[in-house]
Amino acid sequence: LPVGISQAWQQPPESAEAIWLLGLFAASIGLPFFAISANAPLLQAWFARSGHAQSADPYFLYGASNAGSFTALFAYPFAVEPFIGLGPQAWSWTVGYVLLMAVVVSCGWLAASAVHGSATADAGLRSAMRPAWQAQTSWIALSAVPSGLLVGVTAHIAMDLVSAPFMWAVPLALYLLTFVITFQSRPIIPHGRVIRHLGLLAAPLCLFALSPATNLWLVPLHLLVVFWITMACHGELARLRPDAGHLTKFYFLMSLGGVLGGSFASLAAPALFNDVLEYPLLLVAGFAVIGVIRHPSSQFTAAVSAAIVAIPLALLLASYSQHVQPFAKQMLLLGWMLASLAALLAFNAKPLAQAAVLFAVMLVYETVSHVPSPIVQSRSFYGVLAVYGMQQGRIHMMSHGTTKHGSQVWTDDKGLRIAANPSPQSYYYANGPFGSLFAHLRESGGGAKDVAVVGLGTGAMACHALPGEQWSFFEIDPAVVRIARDPSLFTYLRDCGPDDRIVIGDGRLRLAAEPPASFDVIVLDAFSSDSVPAHLMTLDALDIYLSRLKPDGVVAFHISNRFMELSGVIEALARARGLPVYYNSLDNGVWKPDASRLDLTPHLAVIGASPAALGGLARDPAWHMADAERVSAAWTDDYSNTLDAIWRKLWGQRPY
């Protein structure tokens, strides 16, 4: 203590990133994490031996511990991160950890004293009947499904519905809240009511398949469904909890189930599936687990009957729908979903049979309802990548979840393949801000003979290069490199930069390994709407970029973002180093993007290593300096404040 990251773990590998990350966490915080995690069952076991009036059923304390986790989840981004740097946080956490140790030791001393005075209670705990293996298996299953659902719904929302900062916190908060509710002495939502209303989730689950994947109103619907299934599973855990004498085994098997469910969704699923298929599978598993545990034999016949009818029909529909017109396909889908909804309601109070029908529903959803179907789709540690044929295949577009990462016109109006050298599109169109920046640098700045670009995308930036220039791309995701290099998907690299260097790895770390004064231009283009890599926008990072620039070089940040106002962050970095910074106008009347080619005007922030570096931009009315009132505190490796950037985007001012 204090916690920190070993230098040996600074550079992530090019593959097996998840295993590397687990190793990093284990080496950095494994021991204190294990010790803190053991406190909940330890304190409850001591309390059970105390002879207190409530000691026979100490499980309400587990709800209280999760209430603390729930509070901390929201306290950190709102009350800690905006005001305290990582260094003071680490020391504060160390002090808190020492105080916790003192409190636990004190509790142990009090518990030991109480045990001597309550030998009867201790003897009762020792003689408690050992739980049957069926109960122990149920504990594992009932904790595995919600844990996997937590990971699955978070990935599904971020990749298929909306990518936004802190979106991951909402499913986690609901997950913790279910423990708080179900392990109360008197739950505010009785478990019997949760089970009775479980069948009502059938309608929302069918709506998922009938609605376009990008409908934002689906987000609360997904969260409601996952919350209710998790309530059912955790409520069953509370109902099946053993006597206090076997409390520690109960929590151990619960934790084991949580690890198994989370490992399946976060480690196994990305390797097995090229889409977030674990999410619908775990939704079905939630119904199945409840059905098996509550009605192990009475529902078997209904479940088999439902599976025999529904699953072959789903496969038949999936096959037949590939050969009909889009309207007929939608009508078939509508009819199927209405029939499925009727079947689900008919099997009310029979969750195992409903699980069979839901499996068929999800099978149709995954094979039929994706419109348009991707040309290619792959999944990596960093998410789901897909290439779509837009406008009847005239344009190829790459997406990472809901974030578009570039496009290319593939055929002309007659459907013939365009053979000429491609013109960059999307944010990178030739007469847009990127084209203007490079034109000015070549005319009056330090030139653009050596260019580094962090973030490859489709490779469209390569088509801004001129003969004789050396361009290097730094990309963290090998899957992006494979797609950009595939000439059947995009030809920017083949036609414009066949000799460009591509370096796989974290852009900041890889740039730091380059020789000093290597580049005329460094472009940071690795940002997305859901998670801005803050480590690329700190003073420490800027110092690395400046050390790799030639005397009149520039650093360009692509800061287009739906949820964060990042111009103030860049302005603060420039002011801290006494450097000039310019931003492009966002008026499309100045740049004239071609909407038919899916062009978009990017927001760029350009910092010059010297005043002369940005002389051309200073004379161009399409570029301007920053508004002094929009400056925020400079981010460092010790301090960043994404909440401030979100608030500025929403309201145009600081929240405090």
Please give the pLDDT value at position 214.
57
> Residue ranges of the domains in the chain?
36-290, 426-651
Alpha-carbon span 30 to 581, nearest angstrom = 43
Q: How confident is the model at residue 122 (pLDDT cuts 50, 70, 90)?
A: low
Element (H, E) at 474: strand 470-475
Please list, residue by residue across 146-163, b when 16 or more beta carbons sit within 10 angstroms of its beta carbon and e when fewer do.
bbbbbbbbbbbbbbbbbb
pLDDT at 117 over 60: no
Q: How confident is the model at residue 514 (pLDDT cuts 50, 70, 90)?
A: very high
Percent of the chain with pLDDT over 70: 91
What pTM was estimated for this model as a whole?
0.88
Q: How confident is the model at residue 228 (pLDDT cuts 50, 70, 90)?
A: very high
The superfamily (CATH) of domain 426-651 is Vaccinia Virus protein VP39 (3.40.50.150)
Contact 531, 582 (CB under 8 A): no
Please give the pLDDT value at position 209.
59
Question: CB-based contacts of 77: which residues, under 8 Å, 6+ apart?
Answer: 166, 169, 642, 643
Q: What is the pLDDT of residues 10-61, one digit of tens each?
A: 777 877 888 888 888 888 888 888 889 899 899 999 998 888 888 888 999 9
Please give the pLDDT value at position 257.
97
- What does the pLDDT average to over 562-578? 90
Please give the pLDDT value at position 450.
96
Helix (H, G, I), strand (E, B) or coil at 388: strand
Q: What is the pLDDT of residues 130-174, one digit of tens each?
A: 888 899 999 999 999 999 999 999 988 887 766 676 788 999 999
Residue 621: both structure tokens together:
């009315």
* Least confident stretch, 287-301, 320-334, 351-365: 320-334
Please give the pLDDT value at position 584.
93
pLDDT at 116 over 90: no
Q: What is the pLDDT of residues 311-353, one digit of tens each?
A: 888 888 777 777 777 777 778 777 888 888 888 888 878 888 8
pLDDT at 112 over 90: no
Q: How confident is the model at residue 656 (pLDDT cuts 50, 70, 90)?
A: very low
Helix (H, G, I), strand (E, B) or coil at 403: strand
* Least confident stretch, 84-88, 550-554, 594-598: 594-598
Please give the pLDDT value at position 453.
98
Q: How confident is the model at residue 421 (pLDDT cuts 50, 70, 90)?
A: confident
Pick 90 or 373 by higher pLDDT: 90
Helices (H), 211-325: 218-239, 247-263, 269-272, 278-294, 300-320
pLDDT at 119 over 60: no
Amino acid symbol at 410: W
Task: Give the closest residue to 350 by CA, choosing from 388, 301, 389.
Answer: 301
What single string gives the DSSP state of each residue in 56-119?
T-TTHHHHHHHHHHHHHHHHIIIIITTT--HHHHHHHHHHHHHHHHHHHHHHHHHHHHHHHH-H
What is each CA distance from 9 to 6, 12, 17, 523, 532, in whole angstroms?
A: 6, 7, 12, 26, 22
State which of 73-82, 299-308, 514-523 shows the largest mean pLDDT.
514-523
pLDDT at 246 over 50: yes
Please give the pLDDT value at position 651.
79
- What does the pLDDT average to over 234-238? 96
Average pLDDT, the chain: 87
Contact 532, 165 (CB under 8 A): yes
Task: Give the closest residue to 437 by CA, choosing from 578, 585, 569.
Answer: 585
Please give the pLDDT value at position 655.
41
* Least confident stretch, 277-291, 369-383, 432-446: 369-383
pLDDT at 403 over 90: no
Q: How confident is the model at residue 586 (pLDDT cuts 50, 70, 90)?
A: confident
pLDDT at 198 over 90: no
Please give the pLDDT value at position 630.
57
